Amino acid sequence: MSTQSATDSFADLGLPTALQKALAKVGYETPSPIQARSIPPLLEGRDLIGQAQTGTGKTAAFALPILARLQPGGKLPRALVLCPTRELALQVAEAFQSYARYLKNFHVLPVYGGQDMHLQLRQLKRGVDVVVGTPGRLLDHLQRGSLNLSELQTVVLDEADEMLRMGFIDDVEKILGHSTSKHQTVLFSATLPQPILRVSKKFLSVPAHIKIQAKAATVDTIDQQYWLLNNNQKLDALTRLLETEPFDGVIVFTRTRGTTVELAEKISARGYACAPINGDMSQSVREQTIQRLKKSKIDILVATDVAARGLDVDRISLVVNYDIPYDAESYIHRVGRTARAGREGRAVLFITHRERRLLRSIEKASGKEIPPIRLPSAEEVLAKRVQRFKQDVIASLAEPVSPLLVSLVDELCVETGTSPQALAASLVKLLQRDLPLELPAGLDKKSAKTRDRGKREDRKPRKSRGKKSADAVDVEMESFRLEVGRQHEVSAGNIVGAIANEIDIDSQYIGHIDIHEDYSTVELPSGMPKELFQHLKKVRVLGRPLDISRLDKAAGRSGKPGKFSRKKPGGDKAPGAKRKRSVDGKKARSTRKRQE
């Protein structure tokens, strides 16, 4: 199966002009492989199984055909998207909104636990075209009769394997069972475990099966590393890389045209010779930019994949994947822009937590492990920064200085009564605005974490890396009692799903669950803020309130910070009531299974 885009443009895929215009506005240049291959069968109304992870562009792959086939402004929803978490539901709803920018009367409604029910009821009554929701809350609406699925054209199960992992699969089946209309069913999942295959056999009819596989390999002379960070840390991370990494030429890859321009401006503001290159630019401008790179008039190019296709410049010594590529094959193409003409090269991949799976598939496809980045210390960064600054000053001293500037300095010293030395220091401070001599605190913390993880992973054999150590977390745990038990037919999955969605906590932080006859116990990170605790009391599972309570009343006073304490400092816990444990999604799951 090829991983190449079957087409170079959204127009070729037969999407209406209103959508093409919106895509141009968000800056997408070409369809990603999963989009190129899924959109045509979906436009024909076929059922589809798409094996794709977050980061591949799967949202647009199903959202665009839904929008293309929709007559907006109807009373009842025409499309329903089921997502495992409210975070994803919101993201998907936002994506719909941005692609539907030029469609009149279009309404999308995210529906998830923890949000005001009345608001959702009002909006559903008013009429929506697309509902995007988490299974628990959707089922609530179906049971209340506030969600009518009789006019559905399309149902999408997004990240189906995650829904399975979080214990939603029964809810998903119930929701699918509620839809009486003849509709298209689409299932996106990174993996296809047995229960997902069973659901697909039950609810999908002769589906198209789209799987993106890569077969190319990377070059051995490329030193590759990844950097786990948040989106808002990327610019600081890039700055730090550029400051500490010796480089000749650099390509920074981003996903959209807009980002190439914005980022190139920011990099230039930090004193580097940098230019953007993207598909919006005419061929001649692109060629001129590449010539400038070849002749060392600029050192850094910020490019989209399209613009950098086939780019061959010997002096590229560093490739930065600022935004993760859609698939392994684009990654391999990107990093192949370095280590040209027998030289060595380095590639750094920025990834956010949600994108970690894509890293694994890149490793698998390239047959090469990509280790975490080894970051220089803050002192090293500062030393390089100072050194660079000195070099710039020394270079500028060699140039003639206008007498006007000299007299301006004299004037300032007299007027302010400052010594030339103090004045020079204050000018240095002014010059440092874009590159302060202190490092951004947030990034430093994160970097230290990544660095530590790197150390840990080095000691572990390949097999355990990525599976356990990437997902496992050490946190203080506290035990809670929930007023739902075996007699209410609750499963550990129900509990994980409800808690994870209602208080927006990653399921990996939910520890051991014991299900008893009329109650259950669950381990959660200690120091839960009061408002979350109050909220969880009211959350319902299988129609019953959890009515959560602390197992040991002493719990919740003093102790080491748990996951919640980071969100809200000053949480208080009792050391005796908690255990420090390593929780990882996989282990916790199997423990839960035994309880069921």
Residue ranges in contact with ligand AMP by CB under 6 A: 28, 31-32, 35, 54-60, 255-256
Closer Cβ to ligand AMP, 32 or 317, answer by number? 32
* Total Cβ atoms within 10 A of residue 215: 11
Nearest-approach distance from CB 55 to ligand AMP, in angstroms: 5
Q: Which amino acid is at 326?
A: Y
DSSP for 7-68, written as a single string: -S-TGGGT--HHHHHHHHHHT--S--HHHHHHHHHHHTT--EEEE--TTSSHHHHHHHHHHH
Main-chain phi, psi angles of 289, to 5 degrees:
-60, -40
Main-chain phi, psi angles of 588, to 5 degrees:
-60, -35
Nearest-approach distance from CB 61 to ligand AMP, in angstroms: 7
DSSP state of 119: H
Nearest-approach distance from CB 547 to ligand AMP, in angstroms: 36
Nearest-approach distance from CB 289 to ligand AMP, in angstroms: 20
Closer Cβ to ligand AMP, 87 or 245, answer by number? 87
Closer Cβ to ligand AMP, 58 or 333, answer by number? 58
Q: Whole-angstrom Cα distance, residue 104 to residue 106?
A: 6
Closer Cβ to ligand AMP, 132 or 583, answer by number? 132
DSSP for 281-294, written as a single string: S-HHHHHHHHHHHH
Closer Cβ to ligand AMP, 64 or 532, answer by number? 64
Closer Cβ to ligand AMP, 23 or 375, answer by number? 23
Nearest-approach distance from CB 527 to ligand AMP, in angstroms: 32
Closer Cβ to ligand AMP, 41 or 57, answer by number? 57
Interior/surface letters 443-477, b for 16+ CB within 10 angstroms, e for the rest: bbebbeebbebbeebeeeeeeebbeeebbbeebbb
Q: Are strands 154-157 and 184-189 parallel, antiparallel or unpaired?
A: parallel
Task: Work out the end-to-end distance of the chain between its first and last CA atoms, rounded to an integer number of angstroms.
Answer: 40
Closer Cβ to ligand AMP, 37 or 465, answer by number? 37
**Three-point CA angle 142, 144, 148, nearest 5°:** 45
| 3-class DSSP state of 319 | strand
- Rounded to an integer, what is the distance from CA 471 to the centroid of its chain? 15
Two tokens at 345?
């090269």
Closer Cβ to ligand AMP, 238 or 513, answer by number? 238
Closer Cβ to ligand AMP, 15 or 577, answer by number? 15
For residue 170, give the nearest of 496, 485, 487 by alpha carbon. 496
Radius of gyration of the chain (CA): 27
Nearest-approach distance from CB 63 to ligand AMP, in angstroms: 8
Nearest-approach distance from CB 417 to ligand AMP, in angstroms: 55
For residue 595, give the nearest of 488, 523, 492, 495 by alpha carbon. 492
Nearest-approach distance from CB 228 to ligand AMP, in angstroms: 17
Q: Whole-angstrom Cα distance, residue 259 to residue 276?
A: 9
Nearest-approach distance from CB 380 to ligand AMP, in angstroms: 33
Closer Cβ to ligand AMP, 163 or 541, answer by number? 163
Nearest-approach distance from CB 112 to ligand AMP, in angstroms: 17
- Residues whose CB falls within 8 Å of the CB of residue 197, separated by 6 or more in sequence, listed in order: none
For residue 223, give the nearest of 312, 311, 344 by alpha carbon. 344
Q: Which amino acid is at 387?
A: Q
Interior/surface letters 480-495, b for 16+ CB within 10 angstroms, e for the rest: bbbbbbeebebbbbbb
Nearest-approach distance from CB 504 to ligand AMP, in angstroms: 18
As a residue count, the chain comes to 596
